[in-house]
Amino acid sequence: MRIDKAQLEAIAALPDDKLWATVVSMAKGYGFTLPEKTPPHEELEKLRGAVNADKINVSDAMRVLNSYRKGK
């Protein structure tokens, strides 16, 4: 899977509610279900930090998403 850094930066710059709606939509496209309710700002900042422009840390991003999905 190729990751377009410019597109990723644009998505990460979205307001929290739009960012989460985009993440939920993308997850559905890959067969994953995430809660529709937007997580707290702090959680989304962790997600943004995992996919910053300099280095994409997919494992950290997945950890944040799985934690929220499981309600932790």
Sign of CA dihedral 23, 29, 30, 31: positive
Mean pLDDT for 18-25 is 94
**Mean pLDDT computed over 12-22:** 95
pTM of the prediction? 0.80
For residue 8, the one-letter residue type is L
Q: What is the DSSP letter of 23?
A: H
Per-residue model confidence as pLDDT tens digits over 24-64:
998 899 898 899 999 999 989 988 988 875 677 778 888 88
CA 7 vs. chain centroid, Å, equals: 13
